[in-house]
Chain A
Amino acid sequence: MSTSRTIQFTLNGRPATADIAANETIVDMLTNRFELRGARESCGQGLCGCCTVTVDGMAVSGCLSLAWFLDGKSVETVEALSKGGVLDPVQEAFIEAGAFQCGFCTPGFIMMVRQLLDAHPDPDEDEVRHYLTGNLCRCSAYPEIMDAVKLAAAKRKRASAA
């Protein structure tokens, strides 16, 4: 039923091409055409944050955004964060703080925390709570996520000072 269209974009730093149906979301495309598992559909309504990816540097809900509109844009998923076995400071902080249980929401949180720290390198507790309120964790690792954000902010500061 749906027509398709070829789009060209950048995926995790590499050029990518895909024939995309009109009803295909970003998370559909990442899962089915690129076998990336980090962005996951959970609520399907843009309410839980499990499918968070960035498009041209801005966090979006991959379950609500149509892949068609990625043409010419740059998409980054959690898979881009670790290189050669070295984790991003936010990923390290999540491990050190124990900021997850089942892990299903974790990539979404990590993507959002990176954006939070880009905008507010030293956020206070209220800023963190409000910024991340669109990411749901049913295991409720919230106290540890708060710790992880603090830890990640410190790690980033150290890294930029070095």
Chain B
Amino acid sequence: MSAITPPPFASRSLPRLEAREKVTGRIEYTHHLKLPGMLHGKIFRSTMPHAKIKSIDTTAAAALPGVYQVVTIDDIRKVIPNPYYGPAFHDQPILADGKVRFAGEPVAVVLAFDKKIAEEAAGLITAEYEELPAVFDEIEAMTAKVLVHDELKPAATFADLKYLKGKKGTNIALDYQLRRGDTEAAFARAEHVFEHTFRSQQVMHVPMEPFVSVADWQDGHLTLHTASQGPSFVRIEIARLLGLPENKVRVKVPYLGGGFGGKLYIKLEALVTALSMVAERPVKISLTMDEQFFMVTRHPCHFTIKSGLDASGKIIARHCEVIWNGGAYADIGPRVTQKAGFTSAGPYDIDNVTINSYAVYTNRPPCGALRGFGAPQTAWAYECHTDMIADALKMDRVEFRRKNMLREGRPQASGTPLRDAEIERAMDHVLDRMNWSAPFDRGSGNIKRGRGIGIGFKGITSPTTSVAIVNLNADGSCALYIGTVDMGQGSDTVMAQIAAQVLNLDPASIKVIHPDTDVTPYDMGTLGSRSTFHMGNAVRIAAEDAKQKIEVLARELGLPQGANLPLVDMMKQKYGMQAGNIIGTGTYLADYEKPDAQGQTTKGTPFWGVGAAGAEVEIDIETGAIKVTKLVNVADVGVALNPKAVQQQLSGAGIMQLGFTLTENMVFRDGQLTNGSLADYKIPTLLDMPKSFINEHVPNAYDAHGPFGAKGGGESTTIALSPAIGNAVADALGIRIYDLPITPEAIFRAMQEAKGAPLEEDA
């Protein structure tokens, strides 16, 4: 792409608009919200992974002084007759309905004015269960007799899921298929065929502000205050549940203490709504950190990848079998299955591709969106596979990638051509920062050193819409009304920069009005790296609309061209006093074409997320202890509108993915989570940050469809990091790790196995 001169206002590394409130601690989170007369709810949870509920005894809890009410599904049915919800399937009951499907599922709720009394009372509830056989493993679930749901209940919102309606006798919630070329014939003529299987584990978002929602039902209309990434969807789904028009449901979202994809779609909102209707009072539920592990998690993934190559080392066929363990409720798992399935053959130019991607129900906590939307799990497989093929063919790992890389204008497996996606430049940037061509110290004694790279990409959820309103007050001050949720990524600041760029204002002077569905227009959600691109375009269009209206006003007032009269003076001339508004509106819907039955489309994604990573590791072969001594993350974000905010996204996503690569793992025993607290589930600390840690975006990149050339970058560095480390471990030891996380124990076990002296599995 040609070099772009960054626009003056939009490109500054402006500090966050809300920076002062964040350092003084005065910023608003739902966490702190109190309403007059508000009750606190405490959830009583299932201890069984799969069971019929024989009885629930709430007597002792209800009798505890200070308890307002104990609520079960029977109470909820009186206010919401069909209490099932979900973005893809209406499969999740607001409270367990005769059956529990994972250990930790909400069964009853105690309401009390005092949170501690509610907690104490929840401990007094007992339930009797008739245990059912359960299924936890995604491969088993594909063919198991144990059924998590008796019948599939797809939501009508996704047209492509309608065929699943009423389907029985299966745990497969969705089967996504992509066919390109003739894979079988290509495998038949291939010179070399390689097949490997990789697994990713179940992990959790761990937002520091745990899930929290407050509902206030008053005489036929509802106000929800919630830590949500998707207020518009919350409104639509709650309105559906209650049979109300959208304008009777108001959803307000202040700042979020982290989201990472967890706080999307419907989480606690349906429950607090039902409780507020039952109790006829405002109700708040704040989860504890431990309870967050039962809310939503990231899919474990089992990916078998098979490639056929010709004699020159060109990949001519690829078969991807990707199985996603979705847990007990589908949440947005079917979309993860589709979206990550779509790019699971990797950023390579392959003429013959078959992809089967399955969303499977099991008796685990539900899985949904988490930063990267499945792309990191698929890249873990395809990029380890890439190194393994290169090594087997005795080809250089970098040159093998170059030979097969998908390039600008070439169709990806879906038929959508690659556009404005700097895959090769991202890889080259990583190689440069890794000093790849310099001699590499391989360690000595018990310390073995290795290095590896990975590249990856992702498609963006489509078609989705964002709407923005720019309001210029009579004094010329500007407010921006948008449904994008600032959960730490800095969207308020970047959106203000975009509006400021068009209107020639100081971005720091613009007020960003936070999501309030009574006030701010529709936005599909703050998710999947879509906001800078979609909402950014909507804001740009809205600001241009406002600008045009100012020009119309100037003509109406008979002002000479280029008069540049301050708006306040124009408004005074027009209205005879300081009055009125200039309102600009903008709607953005990305160009999209629905895939055909073979999964083929020329417009499958509005832009491509691109990430590349490089890692150097040190391994102590006596203990398996691993240290990442150098980590390089590079992403193509188009033009970085706020370079500082971009860099924070790249490094933050990288460290999060480092946790998912090395330490984080939800460990289950008989369906019971055994490490659901920060004491046992280890997220990265300052000590885990690699000593050499480089995060950069590809310079002079440009997305022709993005606002001022920008595109999303919140997920790109999650994609290629795990395989870069896995490849570095293989480079150090000559041993391949197939399952995440790469713990010292996993390394030690793999080394023992390679020696022919495998350790026994834990009992």
The contact of B686 among A48, A82, A101, A145, by CB within 8 Å, is A145
Min CB gap A12→B, angstroms: 12
Tell me if A139 counts as interface (CB < 8 A to partner B).
Answer: yes
Q: Are B678 and A45 in contact (CB under 8 A)?
A: yes
Are A91 and B488 neighbours in the complex by a CB distance under 8 Å?
Answer: no
Contact indicator B208/A95 (Cβ below 8 Å): no
- Any A CB within 8 A of the CB of B255: yes
A3-11, A65-73, A127-135: which lies at the interface: A127-135
Is there a chain A Cβ closer than 8 Å to B757's Cβ? Answer: no
Known: A104-B208, A145-B686, A146-B686. A140 touches B23 (CB 8 A): no
A129-B686, A139-B652, A146-B686 known; A43 vs B678 contact (CB < 8 Å): yes
* Residues in B whose Cβ lies below 8 Å from that of A38: 24-26
B190 close to chain A: CB less than 8 A: no
**Which of B255, B679, B684 sits near A45, CB closer than 8 Å?**
B679
A139 partner residues in chain B, CB cutoff 8 A:
258, 488, 648, 652
Given contacts A102-B256, A128-B686, contact A42 B25 (CB under 8 A): no
CB of B120 within 8 A of chain A? yes
Query: How far, in whole Å, are A50 and B25 apart by their CA atoms in the complex?
Result: 11
Complex contact B20–A87 (CB within 8 A): yes
A101 and B488 in contact (CB under 8 A), knowing A42-B210, A95-B15?
yes
- Among residues of A, the one whose C-beta sits closest to the C-beta of B691 is A125
Query: Mostly helix, strand, loop or mixed at chain A's interface?
Result: loop
Complex: chain B residue closest to A98, CB-CB: B644
Given the known A-B contacts A23-B116, A40-B209, are A102 and B487 also in contact in the complex, defined by CB atoms under 8 Å?
A: yes
Given A102-B488, A104-B29, A133-B685, answer yes or no on A47-B23 (Cβ-Cβ < 8 Å).
no
Q: When each residue 675-698 of chain B gets 1 if its CB lies under 8 Å from chain A and 0 otherwise, what string results? A: 001110001111101000101000
Interface contact B678-A138, CB-CB below 8 Å? no
Q: A132 CA to B684 CA in the complex, in Å?
A: 12
Structural contact, B679 and A87, CB atoms closer than 8 A: no
Partner of A142, one of B116, B655, B677: B655
Which of chain B's residues 250-269 have a Cβ closer than 8 Å to chain A?
255-260
CB of B463 closer than 8 Å to a CB of A: no
- Decide if B23 touches A133 in the complex (CB within 8 Å): no
Task: Find out whether the CB atom of B656 lies under 8 angstroms from the CB atom of A138.
Answer: yes
Q: Is the CB of A138 within 8 A of B258?
A: yes
Closest Cβ of chain B to A82, distance in Å, is 5
- Binary contact readout A49-89 vs B (1 if CB under 8 angstroms, 0 otherwise): 01000000000000000000000000001110110000100
Could you say which residues of chain B place their CB within 8 Å of the CB of A132? 686
Interface residues in A96-147 (C-beta closer than 8 Å to B): 96, 98, 100-107, 110, 128-130, 132-146
Q: Does A157 contact B (CB under 8 A)?
A: no
**Residues of chain B contacted by A78 (CB below 8 angstroms):** 23-25
Select one of B208, B258, B689 contacting A143, CB under 8 A. B689
Contact with A along B1-37 (1 / 0, CB 8 A): 0000000000001011011111111110101100000
Interface string of B218-239 (1 = CB under 8 A from A): 0000000000000000000000
A window 30-47: CB within 8 A of B: 31, 36-40, 42-45, 47
Q: Are A138 and B32 in contact (CB under 8 A)?
A: no
Which of B23, B65, B488, B645 meets A110, CB within 8 Å?
B23
A82→B290 CA distance, assembly (Å): 33
A161 → B minimal CB distance (Å):
24
B258 touches A48 (CB 8 A): no
Is B207 an interface residue when CB atoms closer than 8 A count as contact?
yes
Q: Of residues B26, B65, B693, which shows the largest number of chain A Cβ atoms within 10 Å of its Cβ?
A: B26
Count of chain A residues near B, Cβ 8 A: 54
Complex contact A140–B684 (CB within 8 A): yes
Contact A138 B260 (CB under 8 A): yes
Q: Is A162 an interface residue (CB 8 A)?
A: no
A21 CA / B117 CA spacing, docked (Å):
12
The residue that B678 contacts in the complex, of A31, A129, A136, with Cβ under 8 A, is: A136
Minimum CB–CB distance from B369 to chain A (whole Å) comes to 16
Is there contact, CB below 8 Å, between A129 and B687? yes
B residues less than 8 Å from A105 (CB atoms): 208
Is B206 positioned at the interface, with any CB of A under 8 Å from its CB? yes
Contacts of B259 in A (CB 8 A): 102
- Measured CA separation A106–B258 after assembly (Å): 12
List 19 A-B residue pairs with CB atoms under 8 Å apart, sorted by A's residue number. Answer: A23-B116, A31-B32, A38-B24, A44-B289, A45-B677, A50-B208, A95-B20, A98-B648, A100-B23, A101-B489, A101-B490, A102-B487, A106-B22, A129-B687, A133-B686, A135-B685, A138-B207, A140-B651, A140-B684
Identify the A interface with B (CB < 8 A).
1, 21, 23, 31, 36-40, 42-45, 47-48, 50, 77-79, 81-82, 87, 91, 94-96, 98, 100-107, 110, 128-130, 132-146
What 20 new A-B contacts, CB under 8 Å, besides A103-B488, A143-B689? A1-B65, A37-B32, A38-B25, A40-B31, A44-B289, A45-B289, A95-B23, A98-B16, A101-B652, A102-B255, A133-B685, A135-B685, A138-B206, A138-B260, A138-B656, A139-B648, A140-B652, A140-B653, A142-B655, A143-B693
Which B residues have a C-beta under 8 Å from some C-beta of A?
13, 15-16, 18-27, 29, 31-32, 65, 116-117, 120, 205-210, 255-260, 288-290, 487-490, 644-645, 648, 651-656, 677-679, 683-687, 689, 693, 695
